[in-house]
C-alpha cells in the first residue's frame, strides 16, 4: 500500500526542500553504484574452419587404414605431440566424426589409450 504524505504542521522552507533534494540525490547515487555496466566483451575471431579440420583428420585416419590394412590406430599415433593444445585440437574433430558415425572411438579404461576405427561401411 503506498504511503501517503503526512500533513505538515509547519510551512516548508527552501532549506528543507534543498535538504530533501540532496537526500534524494544521495540515494540515487548509491543505487547507481550498485548497478554496474556490463563489461565490454570482445568476440573471438574465427581463425579456422572446423569442417575443414574434420575432413583433414578423417583423411589422416582413412589413409592409415587404407595403407596399413585394419591395424589399430591410436590417438597418440595420430597426434604425434605432447602439447595439450594439439591434443585438444585433434580430439574435437574426432568427436565430431564419431557423432557423424564415420569412425568409432574405443577406450578400454579411464585415461587409457583411445583406439580409432573407421566404420566398416566407410572403408572401400
Q: In which domain, by residue range, is 73 found?
A: 50-118
Rounded distance between C-alpha atoms, residue 59 and residue 51, angstroms: 12
Rounded distance between C-alpha atoms, residue 53 and residue 58, angstroms: 9
Residue 124 is assigned to a structural domain of this protein: no
Q: Check if the beta carbon of residue 86 is closer than 8 Å to that of residue 79.
A: yes
Residue 83 is assigned to a structural domain of this protein: yes
Least-confidence region, from 9-18, 22-31, 81-90, 96-105: 22-31
Predicted local distance difference test score (pLDDT) of residue 95: 92
Comparison of pLDDT for 30 and 86, the residue scoring more: 86
Residue 105 is assigned to a structural domain of this protein: yes
**Mean pLDDT in the chain?**
81
Residue 76 is assigned to a structural domain of this protein: yes
Helix, strand, coil % (nearest 5) of the chain? 50, 10, 40
Q: Specify the number of domains making up the chain.
A: 1
pLDDT band at 35 (very low <50, low <70, confident <90, very high): low
pLDDT digits 0-9 by tens, 60-103? 888 888 887 767 788 888 888 888 888 888 889 999 999 998 88
pLDDT at 124 over 60: no
pLDDT band at 19 (very low <50, low <70, confident <90, very high): very high
Residue 111 is assigned to a structural domain of this protein: yes
Least-confidence region, from 11-15, 64-68, 92-96, 113-117: 64-68
Residue 41 is assigned to a structural domain of this protein: no
Residue 60 is assigned to a structural domain of this protein: yes
Residues 6+ apart with CB under 8 A from 116: 61, 72, 73, 74, 75, 78, 94, 103, 104, 105
C-beta atoms surrounding 17 within 10 Å: 10
CATH code where residue 81 lies: 1.10.10.580
Amino acid at each position: 500500500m503506498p504511503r501517503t504524505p503526512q500533513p505538515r504542521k509547519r510551512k516548508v522552507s527552501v532549506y528543507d526542500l534543498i535538504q530533501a533534494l540532496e537526500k534524494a540525490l544521495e540515494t540515487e547515487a548509491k543505487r547507481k553504484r550498485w548497478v554496474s555496466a556490463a563489461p565490454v566483451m570482445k568476440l573471438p575471431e574465427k581463425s579456422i574452419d572446423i569442417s575443414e579440420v574434420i575432413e583433414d583428420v578423417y583423411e589422416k585416419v582413412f589413409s592409415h587404414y587404407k595403407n596399413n590394412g585394419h591395424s589399430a590406430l591410436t590417438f597418440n599415433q595420430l597426434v604425434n605431440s605432447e602439447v595439450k593444445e594439439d591434443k585438444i585440437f585433434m580430439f574435437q574433430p574426432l568427436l565430431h566424426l564419431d557423432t557423424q558415425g564415420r569412425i568409432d572411438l574405443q577406450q578400454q579404461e579411464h585415461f587409457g589409450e583411445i583406439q580409432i576405427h573407421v566404420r566398416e561401411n566407410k572403408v572401400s
